[in-house]
């Protein structure tokens, strides 16, 4: 709905926003993105890590941003120390976590799509065994429900799931990244009714 958005036919399932090390960005400005290093990942990248804010011709802009801002920092870990490892591991985690299946099994019911935020959190915690961080768009004028816009998983340096509530400090690094396209996202309000996007099922 952004005025500068030329998005066409956005995916009707959860996609990847990024794989972000905590409180770090632009660690190596000389390590530029090279799309040829991930050419064998391109099919999965286009499907599961699309740039929904720009046309398909510019799809590498989003990946370049994620690599240069976050990937070069994540690359301090051996398991992520190349572009292929960084993007490949993010895709692997996405497939393993399978948020789309979790959502259809535990959250989405055909009769209604408005939930209490606490019920959504409980369902996700029950499925994954850890506390996730859920961001919402606030209610639009005349509406009462907030809309889930992003669900964040937290990992240890060994890339094992951990509670997002265990993280200390602020989230300025994350908020700065959200401003790329969805600056209104914020931690969901537990007291508001919550709309779960109907396409994600």
Q: Where are the domains of the chain?
A: 1-97, 99-195
Coil, helix or strand for 161?
A: strand
Under-70 pLDDT residues of the chain: 1-9, 23-24, 55-58, 106-112, 166-183, 198-201
**pLDDT for position 174:** 47
Would you give the DSSP letter of residue 166?
Answer: G
CB 46 within 8 A of CB 37: no
CB 134 within 8 A of CB 152: yes
**pLDDT for position 35:** 95
Name the token pair of 133.
């961080």
CB 134 within 8 A of CB 151: yes
Query: Do the domains at 1-97 and 99-195 have one common CATH topology?
Result: yes
> Which residues are known to be catalytic?
17, 66, 70
**pLDDT for position 179:** 46
Domain 1-97 in CATH 3.90.730.10? The answer is: yes
**pLDDT for position 80:** 96
- CATH code of the domain made up of 99-195: 3.90.730.10
Residue 59 CA to residue 123 CA, distance in Å, equals 33
Residue 193 CA to residue 190 CA, distance in Å, equals 8
18: nearest Cα among 44, 51, 41: 51
**pLDDT for position 158:** 95
Residue 198 CA to residue 155 CA, distance in Å, equals 28
- Sign of the torsion formed by the C-alpha atoms of 22, 76, 47 and 123: negative
């Amino acid at each position: 709905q952004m005025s500068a958005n030329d998005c066409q036919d956005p995916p009707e399932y959860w996609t990847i926003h990024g794989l972000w090390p905590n409180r770090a960005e632009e660690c190596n400005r000389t390590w530029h993105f090279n799309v040829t290093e991930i050419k064998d990942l391109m099919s999965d990248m286009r499907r599961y890590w699309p740039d929904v804010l720009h046309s398909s011709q510019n799809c590498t802009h989003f990946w370049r941003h994620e690599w240069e801002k976050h990937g070069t920092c994540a690359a301090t870990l051996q398991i992520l120390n190349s572009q292929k490892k960084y993007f490949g591991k993010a895709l692997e985690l996405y497939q393993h976590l399978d948020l789309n299946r979790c959502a259809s099994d535990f959250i989405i019911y055909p009769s209604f799509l408005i939930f209490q935020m606490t019920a959504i959190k409980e369902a996700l915690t029950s499925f994954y065994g850890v506390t996730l961080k859920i961001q919402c768009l606030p209610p639009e004028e005349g509406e009462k429900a907030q809309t889930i816009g992003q669900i964040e998983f937290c990992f240890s340096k060994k890339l094992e799931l951990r509670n997002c509530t265990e993280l200390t400090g602020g989230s300025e690094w994350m908020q700065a990244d959200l401003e790329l396209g969805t600056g209104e996202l914020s931690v969901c309000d537990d007291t508001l009714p919550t709309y779960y996007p109907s396409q994600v099922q």
